[in-house]
Structure 1
Amino acid sequence: KAQKKHRGQKWVVFDPRKHEMAERADIHLRPKASTDMVWASALSRYMFEHGYADQEFLDARVNQIEEYKQSLEPFTMDFAAQITGIEKEKLIEAAELIGQAKSVCLLWAMGITQHSHGSDTSTALSNLLLVTGNYGRPGTGGYPMRGHNNVQGASDFGCLKNMYPGYEKVTEEKNRDKWAKAWGVPKEKLSLEKGNDNFTMVKGADEGSVKAMFIIGEETAFSDADSTSVHSGFESLDFMVVQDIFMSRTAEFADVVLPASPSVEKDGTFTNTERRIQRFYQVLPPLGDSRPDWQILTDLAKRMGYDWGYTHPSQIMDEAASIATMFQGVSYERLEGWQSLFWPMQSDGSTTPLLYTERFHTDDGKAVLFPLEWKAPAEAADSEYDIMLDNGRMLEQFQSTNQTGRGPRIWSQAPNWFVEVSPELAAERGIEDGTWVRVTSRRGSVEVRATVTDRVAGNTLFMPIHQGKPGLNLLTGEHHDPDVNTPAYKETAVKLEVLPEKGEPPLPSNNFRNAHRTPNDGVPVEVKWYREDYVEPPAQAPHPERF
């Protein structure tokens, strides 16, 4: 292949869309929307049937093997081909590559989780790793990629409805008692019940059971599914506070807006998908009246009668490390400079760069193979809404563009919202680059220009999530994964209407998607230093994007 992997790795991509990673893959398979659990389970069955299951690993370190094997009975390769639309021969090719590999790691993100049964698919992928013995060794494991740089850290430190920091369950009395004692409050002050999550809070606002809301750093009005219901919920609240670094669309609904500071204006830590805790440092004073989030919350608590006394975020880390077993030994001192730590930690500062080398996080130290059943998606195409709409990020922008959409240079790369239409669907409907179309779901409609591309195939469209007002979530619905309440953003059936207007192609001719990439071994940053138009910082280069 023209694009060689740095160390000769083989790369299999399952995705309805042919993006850059798919182009670079050794095998690219395009499943129908919301069918990933099927091919993952079929691969597990194939491993057992063809001698690729790691029986030694299973016998020593995994429970419920026979029950799981029985649950795989429906998941033949023929069944997987029928449900997913992937050719049986291609599935077998992928299975052979995975089965023969010495080590396998699986990476997935919102394309897996944002479906009505996305958590089942995540479980199926973990099952596949267990069957093939791909846990606890270098080059193995599952990596659910996060959409933001500190989603992992926020989850680790208690921003979940059912967990204290360190994933200690709020429903267990021993945890409640431990945290109550550490915080110096009566244990009855801490609930043993799970709280609401993002989905149930917004739904509660719309139904009237939630009367007030405090939103920190989340563009909920734009990024939550079924934006019509979200906006209705916000308008129904008695009181709403938004804390953010910009006057966002969500902040427009608020009674009070508290200006916060971005990462360059405060100290703190980020934690990434591999559990690596890293420090970041304040380099600029907060702008205007803005303040770091921790300081706003500390001052707010003091006004409400709870003086926590924090003067620096390191004290908050010290408190968490003194209570949560997982974080014992974490400190800002041990994170100085470029040092980083992997949880779970030990009190002496020793860290865990590789999980599950000896035991899993269960009572007996063994993993559990979890039987699953195939469940049809909550929303599918029919005779009226005959097309499935995929959606996701673009390289040029981040989320709702509050941060990346502030200057003309980035917008010049992709200035227009668009929908990607496959060549075969374009030929059938008479669509060309620049044709205006109306995309209508069971909830709303948007009008955008089309770009005809083989990045999508058949009756599947793709739209970026960044642009528009009210944006893509005018089309998405409230159907969600019942286990974790993740909205099924990727499970949206639509109909496509061709409008009489014809415009310019929505992507500029110099957009990188219209070019041919030149593979290289990395980013040769030193090359730009030799250019005649390069100027050293802090001087401003007129067109830094050209470097």
Structure 2
Amino acid sequence: MSETSRPCPETDTHCPYCALQCGTRLTGDHAAAVTVEPTDFPVNRGKLCQKGWTAPQVLSATDRLLTPLVRGRDGQLTEASWDTALDTVADSLLRTRAQHGPDALAVFGGGGLTNEKAYLLGKFARLALGTSQIDYNGRFCMSSAAAAGNDAFGLDRGLPFPVTDLARARTVLLAGANVAETMPPLMQHLDQAQLIVADPRHSATARRAALHLQPAPGTDLALALGLMHLAVVEGLVDHAYIERRTRGFEAAVSRAAGWWPERVEAVTGVPVSAQRTAVHLLAESHDSYVLTGRGVEQHRQGTATTAAFINLALALGLPGSPGGGYGCLTGQGNGQGGREHGQKADQLPGYRSLTDPTDRAHVAGVWGVSPHQLPGPGRTAYELLDALGSEKGPRALLILGSNPAVSAPHSAQIAKRLASLDLLVVADFVPSETARMADVVLPVTQWAEEDGTLTNLEGRILRRRALLTPPPLVRSDLQILHDLAVRLGEPPDRYPAEPREVFEELRAASRGGRADYSGISYDRLDAGESLHWPCPDTAEPHPGTPRLFLDKFAHPDGRARFTDTDHHGPAENTSGDYPVHATTGRVLAHYQSGAQTRRVAELSEAVPEAFVEVHPDTAARCGLADRGLARITSARGGMTARVRLDPTLRPDTVFVPFHFAGAGRANLFTHPALDPRSGMPEFKVSAVRLDPLPE
């Protein structure tokens, strides 16, 4: 019996949702009977959020995919055998590649895939398909912070310290992060800190803050530059740290010099007094942290904005200090591990670069091929999706662990692109909106039915353990990749289907890379060791690295880099036709595109439909009534939502959650302008108008 199908009446594992990866204990012998309890794991300490408590309900979703589906000539998806489904996929892939070349085939992965799946998916794309066209939905989540972290520190790990270190913080700046709703168990680690929250909304987190900075959407970079300016002119920077541990300070200061407090207030709306208070709170506390989230990253200036907040942290001497630091709050369940092992357009396992000859040679050696066989970098996520079906774009797409019909910006355009493909294959466990568009749907195991590893936001490698035997006609993603690769003419042993085997190969591929897992094994994890990467394979078992940068940063000279960056504003400004800014985000009850949480009765009842938060004055000007329906329209399209009046919101801003499908898709109006460094779309600011709708 395979690892992924071994039944067990009780097991310790981790929540399937966010990157905290709270520890849980599952009990039950069939899907409808599974119960969950939190464990005393360091990040959650016996607590769970509403999503974590209800996670087992997805296991018994009434519309669970239980057999392969193939679209017939009548346009309907009908049940098929695995051989029929996989033969259909393989034949179409081979035919398309023969006619149009390997880059006519594409793969789109997900930040919720285990490390083993992310690794094998990248290998499958580059060897079995021979394509450069692979990226994943983490591009929409963490790419800006990853680019900024690599530039500044030479390494990208969301939190370069354990979550538990935050418990001793005196002051924490949360920029663009609403953790009280998105990661509630994290708040217990912040209970003793003075919170400074930068967010256009008076969010659940802002309501618990000592100081709320409320910038206009798209102006976070100006705010960060202004805080840096004040730190310098008021004598709050740590010059000894800057001299000893950094480079590039003078250029960054020169840029920030143009952002005096009054100018920052005019651009952002944040009062001078609040700017000054924030900087003094951070600088004068002994244990201060700067943490960023999606609110500062999901912009066409996302990398620059994150870099500006890193500049502030460096100026205050925080990163790599025993009592403070900078960190990025990774969002998706395996957002960290998912971007380390090869499903990104420009990346190989171990966080290696696809353009570096040494990195290519190492991974090619592990895979048993010539480095020349590895394709170069492909399109980033939105560019890939927007090219589908075009003359020079991919004509066939395999999707694992993602729902881009809902989650991609300008989603009506992306839906058209998906519909234009010669072949769309979706592997999922529920019929997501993207799966319903597919030519072939492959039913896969859920989190409680499979083994594997994930890497949480602090770089800690975790064991996912199976509780249940999967339904009879459901297969793991690893098995599907193996079966397809064999049909495409690849050696069977090149694509192991057992997670432990895949992880052993991942260890070898990551050896010596920035994200080195070579010293980590299932045996060590199962013995209860807490291991953070990098964890190299050494003569004596390496203890892992829970705290990075204490002695040096990951650049060759050991110094962190300031970034010379300036504010240029959002891709589109408000106008007479579109007079209000819309920003998007998450709510407590739902997760990502909502494909899972909208199938949980308790969560769906808590937030059953899309809504738009509007200031009462704005609502009055637009003729909107509380609890009435509204149309939110941008130059790209519009969606329908229920109005919620909120007097704490900025009058020039409305907020919409992005978890809903159909006419409630927020991404019908979002802007696809991309950050030039990271490929991140500008989800967080769109110019819109509001119109009342009849019931």
1:343 maps to 533
Asked whether 1:186 is paired with 2:370, we answer yes
Asked whether 1:224 is paired with 2:408, we answer yes
Q: Relative to structure 2, which stretch is displaced further, 229-238 or 288-297?
A: 288-297
Shift, 1:303, TM fit: 2.4
Shift, 1:206, TM fit: 5.0
CA distance in structure 1 between the aligned counterparts of 2:188 and 2:357, rounded to whole angstroms: 54
1:370 maps to 563
2:674 maps to 480
SS at match of 1:498: strand
Shift, 1:275, TM fit: 0.5
Amino acid at match of 2:589: E
Asked whether 1:98 is paired with 2:282, we answer yes
Asked whether 1:126 is paired with 2:320, we answer no
Greater relative contact order (Cα < 8 A, sep 6+): 2
CA distance in structure 1 between the aligned counterparts of 2:651 and 2:542, rounded to whole angstroms: 54
Alpha-carbon distance change, 350 to 6 in structure 1, aligned in 2, over 3 angstroms: closer
CA distance in structure 1 between the aligned counterparts of 2:626 and 2:615, rounded to whole angstroms: 11
Task: Tell me, yes or no, if the aligned pair for 1:318 and 1:330 is still in contact at 8 Å.
Answer: no
Aligned counterpart in structure 1 of residue 582 of structure 2, from 384, 389, 394? 389
Task: Tell me, yes or no, if the aligned pair for 1:327 and 1:344 is still in contact at 8 Å.
Answer: yes
CA distance in structure 2 between the aligned counterparts of 1:380 and 1:327, rounded to whole angstroms: 45
2:447 maps to 263
Asked whether 1:403 is paired with 2:596, we answer yes
Alpha-carbon distance change, 309 to 95 in structure 1, aligned in 2, over 3 angstroms: closer
**C-alpha root-mean-square deviation of aligned residues, in Å?**
1.9
Aligned counterpart in structure 1 of residue 382 of structure 2, from 183, 193, 199? 199
SS at match of 2:681: coil
After superposition, where does 1:424-503 map in structure 2 within 5 Å?
424-470=617-663, 471-499=665-693, 501=694
2:506 maps to 320
Amino acid at match of 2:642: R
Unaligned runs of 5+ residues in structure 2 are 1-186
Amino acid at match of 2:247: N
SS at match of 1:400: coil
Task: Tell me, yes or no, if the aligned pair for 2:485 and 2:495 is still in contact at 8 Å.
Answer: no
CA distance in structure 1 between the aligned counterparts of 2:264 and 2:477, rounded to whole angstroms: 48
TM-score by length of 1: 0.87
Deviations 1:470-520 (A, max 9, x none): 411111132121221111111111111234x4x6xxxxxxxxxxxxxxxxx
SS at match of 1:207: coil
Task: Tell me, yes or no, if the aligned pair for 2:406 and 2:660 is still in contact at 8 Å.
Answer: no
Alpha-carbon distance change, 356 to 481 in structure 1, aligned in 2, over 3 angstroms: same
Amino acid at match of 1:153: G
Shift, 1:178, TM fit: 1.3
Task: Tell me, yes or no, if the aligned pair for 2:322 and 2:550 is still in contact at 8 Å.
Answer: no
Amino acid at match of 2:346: N
TM-score by length of 2: 0.69
Shift, 1:6, TM fit: 6.1
Shift, 1:250, TM fit: 0.7
Alpha-carbon distance change, 338 to 52 in structure 1, aligned in 2, over 3 angstroms: same
Task: Tell me, yes or no, if the aligned pair for 2:631 and 2:691 is still in contact at 8 Å.
Answer: yes
1:306 maps to 491
CA distance in structure 1 between the aligned counterparts of 2:662 and 2:548, rounded to whole angstroms: 43
CA distance in structure 1 between the aligned counterparts of 2:603 and 2:244, rounded to whole angstroms: 53
CA distance in structure 1 between the aligned counterparts of 2:636 and 2:216, rounded to whole angstroms: 22
Shift, 1:432, TM fit: 2.9
Shift, 1:412, TM fit: 1.9
Shift, 1:103, TM fit: 2.4
Task: Tell me, yes or no, if the aligned pair for 1:116 and 1:491 is still in contact at 8 Å.
Answer: no
Deviations 1:36-71 (A, max 9, x none): 111111211222222211111111110122222222
Aligned counterpart in structure 2 of residue 71 of structure 1, from 242, 255, 258? 255
Shift, 1:163, TM fit: 1.3
Shift, 1:86, TM fit: 0.8
Shift, 1:388, TM fit: 0.7
SS at match of 2:358: helix
Amino acid at match of 1:376: G
Amino acid at match of 2:333: N
Deviations 1:372-402 (A, max 9, x none): 1221211121121000111111111222222
CA distance in structure 1 between the aligned counterparts of 2:369 and 2:612, rounded to whole angstroms: 54
Task: Tell me, yes or no, if the aligned pair for 1:113 and 1:122 is still in contact at 8 Å.
Answer: yes
Alpha-carbon distance change, 430 to 383 in structure 1, aligned in 2, over 3 angstroms: closer
Task: Tell me, yes or no, if the aligned pair for 2:481 and 2:495 is still in contact at 8 Å.
Answer: no
Task: Tell me, yes or no, if the aligned pair for 2:406 and 2:661 is still in contact at 8 Å.
Answer: no
CA distance in structure 1 between the aligned counterparts of 2:661 and 2:404, rounded to whole angstroms: 15
After superposition, where does 1:145-156 map in structure 2 within 5 Å?
145-156=329-340
Shift, 1:131, TM fit: 0.8
Task: Tell me, yes or no, if the aligned pair for 1:137 and 1:354 is still in contact at 8 Å.
Answer: no
Task: Tell me, yes or no, if the aligned pair for 1:18 and 1:454 is still in contact at 8 Å.
Answer: no
Q: Relative to structure 2, which stretch is displaced further, 277-286 or 207-216?
A: 207-216
Task: Tell me, yes or no, if the aligned pair for 1:206 and 1:230 is still in contact at 8 Å.
Answer: no
CA distance in structure 2 between the aligned counterparts of 1:426 and 1:169, rounded to whole angstroms: 49
Identity %: 31
Amino acid at match of 2:686: T
2:612 maps to 419
Q: Relative to structure 2, which stretch is displaced further, 322-331 or 303-312?
A: 303-312
CA distance in structure 1 between the aligned counterparts of 2:478 and 2:272, rounded to whole angstroms: 53
CA distance in structure 1 between the aligned counterparts of 2:344 and 2:501, rounded to whole angstroms: 21
Q: Relative to structure 2, which stretch is displaced further, 234-243 or 222-231?
A: 234-243
- What is the number of residues matched between the two proteins? 498
1:529 maps to none
Shift, 1:5, TM fit: 8.2
CA distance in structure 1 between the aligned counterparts of 2:284 and 2:263, rounded to whole angstroms: 23
Alpha-carbon distance change, 306 to 375 in structure 1, aligned in 2, over 3 angstroms: farther
Alpha-carbon distance change, 495 to 291 in structure 1, aligned in 2, over 3 angstroms: same
SS at match of 1:20: coil
Shift, 1:416, TM fit: 2.9
Deviations 1:503-544 (A, max 9, x none): 6xxxxxxxxxxxxxxxxxxxxxxxxxxxxxxxxxxxxxxxxx
Q: Relative to structure 2, which stretch is displaced further, 44-53 or 381-390?
A: 44-53
Aligned counterpart in structure 2 of residue 20 of structure 1, from 170, 192, 204? 204
1:542 maps to none
Amino acid at match of 1:385: Y
